[in-house]
Structure 1
Amino acid sequence: MKIGNIEFGQRPLFLAPMEDVTDIGFRMLCKRFGAAMVYTEFVSAEALVRSVKSTMNKLTICDEERPVGIQIYGRDVDAMVEAARMVEAAGPDLIDLNFGCPVKKVAGKGAGAGMLQNIPKMLEITRKVVDAVRLPVTVKTRLGWDSGNLIITELAERLQDCGIQALTIHGRTRAQMYTGQADWTLIGDVKRNPRIRIPIIGNGDITSAEDADNAFRQYGVDAVMIGRATFGRPWIFGEVAESSFGIPLTVSDKIDILLEQLRINVERIDEYRGILHTRRHLAATPIFKGIPDFRQTRIAMLRAETVEELTEILERVRVQLMT
């Protein structure tokens, strides 16, 4: 599989761009465990154009995580074009346009999945961004706004005609948000369309090697993108790919990985925000499930304000799990 000049090999696994999740520490760990492509947290074009510091910080990438994409979202054509030029200057390997985020603060304002209700503007933004930058431009979107507007088959062709070099499709409508099961049928229809020449990346409910294998075999996608199943589980890429990373990881190994993620975040940001970035993963990681009477430990873990305090809690959990 290839996007622009980026070679990914066969059946690559991508890390989905997710706000407050795909910070640089997490991306580097996912890359280590087999993610072929990683993305930054999605970036507001309007905030980028206004040089909002917290948004500008999201453009920070490093060579160890390449290939890496930066994803932008917005509803204003000029802001999206200017933001794309700013992103290109940050040096990613590609620019992704977010036409799929379903949350109210994004889609409700006409950006993200909100663009599924304004296809002419979506296409205008796509064309103008493609024309404005030299990097490959890709798009991530959904099946349609709701079950009565499943437009992805035609939309994929129109986006391809705008010059994008790959399309990621999440197998839900905006109305579904993240409920129910992802429907891969239409993703497969897009991929089998003889008029589609660009790579099609499937996204939605991939949590195991069996899921990924089915996506590649049954629906023929060129790559699989993994999102929520990565929370607190950067090693999932090795598990899903059934790759060999030596001896299977123990729970103690996984705690070491989460502690490393904490250290990376603190070193690259600062102690306070580094801890905040790590908390979501600690809250969601599956390795703590089933531990008896864990509620108070979880609360303490999520309230910890220093690296020392959080490390001590995790070390106590390690001892508990190993006895």
Structure 2
Amino acid sequence: MHIGPHLVSPPVVLAPMAGVSDRPFRQLCRRLGAGLTVSEMVSADRRLWDSRKTRLRLDHTGEPDPRSVQILGTDPRAMAEAARCNVERGARIIDINMGCPAKKVCGAQAGAALLRDETLVGRILEAVVGAVAVPVTLKIRTGWDLTRRNGIAVARIAEQAGIQALAVHGRTRACGYSGPVDYAAIRAIKQAVTIPVIANGDIDSPERARRVLDYTGADAVMIGRGAQGRPWIFREIAHFLTSGERLAPPSPLQIGRWVTAHLTQLYEFYGETAGVRIARKHLIWYSQHWPESAGFRARANAAESGRAQLLLVRDFFERLANEEPLAA
């Protein structure tokens, strides 16, 4: 799949996730097989650009191209300015958020709330596309709720505005992240436009990725929660799409090395105090697939230094080294 001049290979993309897809996690996912990663959303509100959180989200040092940065807002001019700012800071693709279902975001009429105003959708997309020379992509849901599923209409507006790829989460905003994913809606959207479509929603295994691609006709899949605690899912999916065979699961020792590298990058990126705090949720995700891991999670949550966390990781995965491989 191409997004403008950029080849996305393999066609497996890390979803933008606030508080998760920061630079250390994006870099890890790229190393483990993701063809593209999308940043945490960056607000178009200039008043927030000097905050430490936004400064970190604008930092792409050491990331491989193409770098995709997601922006969030409701004002066409502000969104255009945010796009230009991020391109100046190294973005090679600008992604527009019209899919976030969070109450805080939708309460500000941003994210998925924009799907209720197709005229404004068109104005924002045209403003951003016209503001930058790099490709612009869009992430949406199938609609606001089950009575207002206008994903096809929005997809056509996007294509007309010059959007070069469209990621579709197969649920409405009202559905949040619960209930079945409407892959039929993604299929209908794919058939309605000629631009690349990326299927998103509950893709958590190589087999499901293959089924979703075959059923929807999508050009790529996007992985969100399925990568939390399991970033090697990207290489597993890539291998399965190419060979039709399951890749052997990584050993506990290999996982321990990846986790150690991830935590070390978190400490370097955020500073040790904040990095230790942020690492706790990742350690919960990394350990949740293993039996009898409650004690490890309790100790990981209590650890207050990077050294303590790294020792816990080493001991945990060394203990598992001779046990059964990670469950799928």
Which residue of the partner structure matches residue 5 of structure 2? 5
Do the aligned partners of 2:22 and 2:39 also contact (CA within 8 Å) in 1?
yes
Which residue of the partner structure matches residue 280 of structure 1? 281
Which residue of the partner structure matches residue 242 of structure 1? 239
**Secondary structure at 1:65's aligned position in 2?**
coil
CA distance, structure 1, for counterparts of residue 289 and residue 14 of structure 2 = 23
CA distance, structure 1, for counterparts of residue 7 and residue 295 of structure 2 = 47
CA distance, structure 1, for counterparts of residue 307 and residue 171 of structure 2 = 42
Do the aligned partners of 2:14 and 2:37 also contact (CA within 8 Å) in 1?
yes
Structure 1 residues 200-209 or 307-316, which shifts more?
A: 307-316
CA distance, structure 1, for counterparts of residue 247 and residue 203 of structure 2 = 23
Which residue of the partner structure matches residue 271 of structure 2? 270
CA distance, structure 1, for counterparts of residue 163 and residue 34 of structure 2 = 22
Going from structure 1 to structure 2, the CA distance change for 1:53 and 1:64 (only over 3 Å counts) comes to closer
CA distance, structure 1, for counterparts of residue 137 and residue 290 of structure 2 = 40
Structure 1 residues 80-89 or 243-252, which shifts more?
A: 243-252
Which residue of the partner structure matches residue 67 of structure 1? 66
- For residues 165-215 of structure 1, what are the alpha-carbon distances to aligned partners after superposition, in whole Å with 9 as ceiling and x for unaligned? 11110000000000012111011111122xx22111110111111111112
Measure how far apart 1:52 and its partner are.
Answer: 2.3
**Secondary structure at 2:88's aligned position in 1?**
helix
- For residues 116-149 of structure 1, what are the alpha-carbon distances to aligned partners after superposition, in whole Å with 9 as ceiling and x for unaligned? 1222112211111111111111100100000001
1:100 equivalent to 2:111? Answer: no
Do the aligned partners of 1:23 and 1:277 also contact (CA within 8 Å) in 2?
no
Q: Taking structure 1 as the reference length, what is the TM-score of the superposition?
A: 0.93
1:31-110 matches, within 5 Å, as 31-47=30-46, 50-110=49-109
Measure how far apart 1:283 and its partner are.
Answer: 1.4
Superposed CA RMSD in Å reads 2.0
Stretches of structure 2 lacking an aligned partner (at least 5 in a row): 323-328
Amino acid at match of 1:227: G
CA distance, structure 2, for counterparts of residue 50 and residue 315 of structure 1 = 38
Measure how far apart 1:274 and its partner are.
Answer: 2.0
Which residue of the partner structure matches residue 125 of structure 2? 126
Measure how far apart 1:60 and its partner are.
Answer: 1.0
CA distance, structure 2, for counterparts of residue 259 and residue 208 of structure 1 = 24
Which residue of the partner structure matches residue 326 of structure 2? none
CA distance, structure 1, for counterparts of residue 133 and residue 200 of structure 2 = 26
**Secondary structure at 1:72's aligned position in 2?**
strand
Do the aligned partners of 1:49 and 1:79 also contact (CA within 8 Å) in 2?
no
Do the aligned partners of 2:239 and 2:247 also contact (CA within 8 Å) in 1?
no
CA distance, structure 1, for counterparts of residue 208 and residue 62 of structure 2 = 30
1:233 equivalent to 2:230? Answer: yes
Identity %: 37
Stretches of structure 1 lacking an aligned partner (at least 5 in a row): none
CA distance, structure 1, for counterparts of residue 247 and residue 172 of structure 2 = 40
Which residue of the partner structure matches residue 289 of structure 2? 289
Measure how far apart 1:319 and its partner are.
Answer: 3.7
Do the aligned partners of 1:167 and 1:199 also contact (CA within 8 Å) in 2?
yes
**Secondary structure at 1:22's aligned position in 2?**
coil
Measure how far apart 1:272 and its partner are.
Answer: 1.6
Q: Taking structure 2 as the reference length, what is the TM-score of the superposition?
A: 0.91
